Amino acid sequence: MLTLALAGKPNCGKSTFFKAATMANAEIANYPFTTINPNFGVAYVRTKCACTELKVKCSHCVDGNRFVAVNLIDVAGLVPDAHKGKGLGNQFLDHLRQANAILHIIDASGGTDSEGNPVGVGNHDPAEDVKFLGYEMTMWVHGILAKHWSQISRGSQGKGAAIQQGIADTFVGLGITLEDVRDVELNLKLDLVHANIEDLIPLCAEMVKISKPMLIIGNKFDEAPEALRTKLAEQKVAFASAASELALRNAATANVVKYLPGDEQFTVVNEASLSAPQKAGLAKIAGVMKECKGTGVQQAINRAVFELLDMIVVYPVEDENHYCNKQGDVLPDAYLMRKGSTPHDLAYQVHTEIGKGFLYAIDAKTKMRIKETHELKNGDVIKIVSAAK
């Protein structure tokens, strides 16, 4: 599965966001470093299920909405100079290594300082928090490269291609390729042969952007003064209210409201049964959702997967006529795949042996055989024909 990581300074609402997105237990408190060890959970991206277009009954969606699982990690709060060991140190930067993308949570209300200490709403400029995580990750990556730079330089014997390969090998765990290093060197007009380690900070910044695309989310936006909202909106910050999302999910579980994650509004099941405080609380949440077109939590997860990572959803089936598996289960699986993937890629994702034995594929919507190199589209329903049993 894809892995998304929640990162940011302490006390910005990461754990509330994590709990709202996963409904997993996570300690939430109004002081820095509540989270010490990372929390792991499962969140879901929301997409329109293929059954709506095919006009078939599917038991794996909710009102035509398909929810596809992704891993979610809530790492400990990071403070400026974490790469130097400040706060809880750069060991937590290392937890971000396994993430495909990062949701950088900031406190849009300006109620916490750069280290996560409460200072009162509006007393800290959250715009200052926008850049710090990228910088900390850049310097963390730079520190990794610095440990290997002497060896890379000596071993290259002055050959640029060897240096490029050495850098790519150093960052292979981040998913960096030799082509990435070559492109960055060219775009930044670097001279790797004669560069010293300090010259390579811009290269490391680009490595971070390539390997860990980031979406900045202004949490607690409903508490933020208008001036701060305007300033963050100008920096393309996405807004969210994790507390509102968590309250709605709990209310939906208790059958107080009808709400599906990602909806722009909710419906009260039985208003007469609500107390005055409950009504007031729901009214406040309704106002938040009207302003933000939802709580922003599900929207952020969707943006990370479909925009940052450029993923599509594909449905493999065994019976192209009834869109089901051998047991008659309609659209039993939904796979997240990178845009540009082929039927052969899908075969490998279903099972390695099916990929090895791949023969051809059938587009279940058109009933036409498609090439191994055919580019899959979002919502495709595909039958894989393989020699593997």
What's the confidence (pLDDT) of residue 90?
55
Q: Name all domains of the chain by residue range, CATH numbers in brackets.
A: 3-38+75-134+213-302 (3.40.50.300), 311-386 (3.10.20.30)
> pLDDT tens-digit profile of 210-264?
999 999 999 999 999 999 999 999 999 999 999 999 999 999 999 999 999 999 9
Encoding tokens for residue 54?
């095919």
Q: What ranges in the chain are assigned the alpha helix state H?
A: 14-22, 50-54, 127-130, 132-156, 160-170, 178-188, 201-211, 226-234, 242-253, 276-292, 297-303, 343-350, 352-356
Q: Helix crossing, 178-188 with 201-211: angle to 10°?
A: 130
Report DSSP state, residue 305: I
The structure's pTM equals 0.88
* C-beta of residue 108 within 8 angstroms of C-beta of residue 235: no
CA pair distance 223, 202, nearest whole angstrom: 36
pLDDT score at 210: 92
- Pull the structure tokens for residue 51: 């059954």
The whole-number pLDDT of residue 19 equals 93
pLDDT number for residue 92? 56
Distance CA 211, CA 152 (A): 21
**Mean pLDDT in each 10-residue stretch from start to end of the chain (389 residues)?**
90 91 59 56 96 95 95 80 58 73 94 89 91 85 91 89 94 90 94 92 94 94 93 94 95 94 95 92 95 94 96 97 96 97 96 95 96 94 91
Residue 48: predicted pLDDT:
97
